[in-house]
């Protein structure tokens, strides 16, 4: 598991709207993590939460402008 992989996942969520929609179409956390990992991102919920806490205000605003995100579950990544 890797924080770097979590960063790569967040970048993909911001840059690929279709990918983000596929991930967010899955309602449960375990299913989202399985999807994320099947896409080659070797990270867990804690690492994604850690990385999401590193986002700058500009990055959060950018994400909110295209695909609003920040709910993997329990306060982690969430696209709205």
State residue 80's pLDDT score. Answer: 44
End-to-end Cα spacing for the chain:
26
State residue 12's pLDDT score. Answer: 92
State residue 74's pLDDT score. Answer: 53
- What is the residue extent of each domain of the chain? 3-66
State residue 42's pLDDT score. Answer: 93
Go through 42-55 and write b for each residue having 16 or more CB atoms within 10 A of its CB, e for each that does not: ebbbebbbebbeeb
Question: Which residues of the chain carry a pLDDT beneath 70?
Answer: 1, 54-80
State residue 35's pLDDT score. Answer: 92
């Amino acid at each position: 598991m890797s924080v770097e992989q979590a960063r790569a996942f967040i970048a993909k969520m911001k840059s690929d709207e279709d990918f983000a929609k596929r991930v967010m179409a899955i309602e449960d956390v375990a299913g989202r993590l399985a999807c994320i990992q099947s896409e080659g991102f070797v990270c867990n919920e804690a690492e994604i939460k850690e990385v999401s806490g590193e986002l700058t205000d500009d990055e959060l605003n950018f994400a909110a402008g295209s695909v609003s995100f920040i709910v993997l579950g329990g306060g982690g990544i969430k696209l709205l």
